[in-house]
Chains A and B, each alone.
Chain A
Amino acid sequence: MTNKPSIFWQKNPALAWREIDDATVIISPTDSVMHELNDTGSFLWKNIDGRRSAAELAGLLAESYEVAPDVALTDTQALLDEMSTRKLVVPIPATGGDLR
């Protein structure tokens, strides 16, 4: 049995950002803080689209970077927590199941 995710993640729509080489630079207009994501952070950022859960994002990470699913999930969750604390991403209620 597959549990339906209860939370999807989306980028904070207020942010300015660009992908530059393997990094992503994000600027928050409210506090003028500049954030830099490394390549794996950028990979996740690219795939955070308001339609994927942490598990789904971890699945993509595991596939692309050839890491164990449990490691990918731990890393993904940690990054989402960090980005959420910095208000770079916001959780939204999942309205459906697996949308991929």
Chain B
Amino acid sequence: MTTSAAVGATPVMDRLISRTVRKHQPLSVHFDLTYRCNERCVHCYLDHDDHGELSTAECLAVLEELAQAGTLFLTFSGGEIFLRPDLYEILSEARRLHFDISLKTNALLVTPERAKRLREFGVRRVQISVYSDIPEVHDAITKVPGSLQRTLAAIPLLLEQGLQVKLACPLMRENLLAYRGVMALAEKIGVPYVLDLTITPMLDGNEGPLAHRIPVSSLLPVMQDSKLNACATRPTAEAPLAMKEYPATLGSAVSSGIESEAYEDLPCSAGHNSCYISPYGDVFPCVQLPQAAGNLRRKRFNEIWHHAPQLERLRGVRESQLPVCSRCEIRNYCERCPGLALMEGGDLLGAYERACELAEQKARLAGVTEPISALHKQQAANSAPATIANDFASVIAASGSN
């Protein structure tokens, strides 16, 4: 009557994802409790002000609605969650409602007492941002002197309480050369890690953070690192075994990293069985997809989730029908994100430069001869007639001068 397996890419998880995608049940929700933060990371996509955060009562009401909607995996993040004075009250309610609770934090405010409370409130996993094992590098990114030391001091406190800890390291210009150090640090502590190449514009569209993004040409050391297996193709229906082995060490610090056949022709889980809630009650398909579907101060979650036109449109998108990407020969190397397609290319359904460049680089490293994305093929084709016309004009001009 029971089947058991570790949480992760397992048949139990596959069935769970398959059922919730089919039913549009919000299995997984990322809930930012605040955008306020005690660090000032150079690449951060959030402002750090309070524009009217949900009150304690409003947060608890949201949790009740999520439980009724069938959410199981609940991630509290920010900003820095420990800046919410009512964090314990919120966690207590989350536990009462039987969520599987994860936290994302910089851990600066974790104390032995707080680590113990997290365990008591049933928190299972804590993801901590670590940018380098070198204090000067980490602290220059967070702009808080001593922050690496304080963050690292918190990890044993959490582990002692039996909490799962994972290190997340967004890679940017400032810490590219330190990635091996983060890997070694995680291995020394005995915790998993994820290196994330995603640096996004701010939620208001400000492209300031993109100045910290590493050019694809400079990513070769990371992409060639055999430990990271960055050049593996994406899982496909034809290669189910590869799916199970898909590496979690280079990926997204935002998503669960869990791949499933149930997502086969879907761009991702956003709006199908997962969503994001801002500290102000706005419901988005994903933290990286800034199209608000509604606000929980004005509408019930279920009403937004099941009837918002933005979500209904998103649910109709299939990768096999994307105008450009569906005919891309190297799509199995691509990590296209609909939100980044919207933010960077202006089209939820479109291709965007960064994904194409990364896919081409991965394909090249994997041995594909002269890989070229569908977008770049299209751009080349569009520019070709102009070139021929120019050449023709040159010939005419040259003939005339003779």
Q: B162: which A residues are within 8 A, CB to CB?
A: 30
Q: What does the 1/0 interface line of B3-14 toward A look like (CB < 8 Å)? A: 111110010110
* Given A27-B72, A34-B12; A14-B7 close (CB under 8 Å): no
| B-side interface size class | 20 to 34
Complex CA gap A23/B13 in Å reads 12
Complex CA gap A30/B161 in Å reads 10
Q: Which A11-70 residues have a C-beta within 8 angstroms of B?
A: 14-21, 23, 25, 27, 29-30, 32-38, 40-41
Q: Does B100 contact A (CB under 8 A)?
A: yes
Q: Does A86 contact B (CB under 8 A)?
A: yes
Q: Does B23 contact A (CB under 8 A)?
A: yes
* Given A16-B124, A20-B16, A20-B19; A33-B7 close (CB under 8 Å): yes
Q: How many Å from the CB of A44 to the closest CB on chain B?
A: 8
**What are 6 A-B pairs with beta-carbon distances under 8 A?**
A18-B70, A18-B98, A20-B16, A20-B27, A34-B13, A36-B16
Q: A35: which B residues are within 8 A, CB to CB?
A: 2-4, 12
Q: B125: which A residues are within 8 A, CB to CB?
A: 32
Q: Does B381 contact A (CB under 8 A)?
A: no
Q: Is the CB of B99 within 8 A of A16?
A: yes
User: Which A-B residue pairs are the 6 nearest by beta carbons?
Assistant: A16-B100, A41-B1, A29-B124, A18-B72, A36-B3, A35-B4
Count of A interface residues, CB-CB < 8 Å:
27
* Given A32-B124, A34-B6, A36-B12; A27-B100 close (CB under 8 Å): yes
Q: What does the 1/0 interface line of A63-100 toward B look like (CB < 8 Å)? A: 00000000000000001001100101000000000000
Complex CA gap A17/B100 in Å reads 7
Q: Is the CB of B72 within 8 A of A25?
A: yes
Q: A83: which B residues are within 8 A, CB to CB?
A: 2
Q: Which B143-195 residues have a C-beta within 8 angstroms of A?
A: 162, 164
Q: How many Å from the CB of B45 to the closest CB on chain A?
A: 29
Q: A27: which B residues are within 8 A, CB to CB?
A: 7, 72, 100, 124
Q: Is the CB of B16 within 8 A of A25?
A: yes
Q: Is the CB of A40 within 8 A of B1?
A: yes
Complex CA gap A23/B20 in Å reads 12
Q: Is the CB of A34 within 8 A of B19?
A: no
* Given A14-B122, A18-B98, A41-B2; A23-B15 close (CB under 8 Å): yes
Q: Does B25 contact A (CB under 8 A)?
A: yes
Binding site for B on A (CB under 8 A): 14-21, 23, 25, 27, 29-30, 32-38, 40-41, 79, 82-83, 86, 88
Quick one: which of B1, B5, B25, B123 has the most chain A CB within 10 A? B1
Residue of A nearest to B71 (CB): A18
Q: B351: which A residues are within 8 A, CB to CB?
A: none
Q: Does B277 contact A (CB under 8 A)?
A: no
Residue of A nearest to B11 (CB): A36
Complex CA gap A38/B101 in Å reads 24
Binding site for A on B (CB under 8 A): 1-7, 10, 12-13, 15-16, 19-20, 23, 25, 27, 70-72, 98-101, 122-125, 162, 164
Q: A79: which B residues are within 8 A, CB to CB?
A: 1-2
Q: How many Å from the CB of A82 to the closest CB on chain B?
A: 6
Complex CA gap A27/B101 in Å reads 10
Q: A17: which B residues are within 8 A, CB to CB?
A: 72, 98
Complex CA gap A19/B23 in Å reads 13
Complex CA gap A79/B1 in Å reads 7
* Given A18-B98, A20-B25, A32-B124; A37-B12 close (CB under 8 Å): no
Residue of B nearest to A18 (CB): B72
Q: B72: which A residues are within 8 A, CB to CB?
A: 16-18, 20, 25, 27
Q: Is the CB of A34 within 8 A of B5?
A: yes
Q: B13: which A residues are within 8 A, CB to CB?
A: 34
Q: How many Å from the CB of A4 to the closest CB on chain B?
A: 27
Q: B20: which A residues are within 8 A, CB to CB?
A: 20
Complex CA gap A41/B1 in Å reads 6
Q: B70: which A residues are within 8 A, CB to CB?
A: 18-20
Q: Is the CB of B2 within 8 A of A16?
A: no
Q: B19: which A residues are within 8 A, CB to CB?
A: 20-21, 23
Q: Is the CB of B98 within 8 A of A16?
A: yes
Q: How many Å from the CB of B285 to the closest CB on chain A?
A: 20
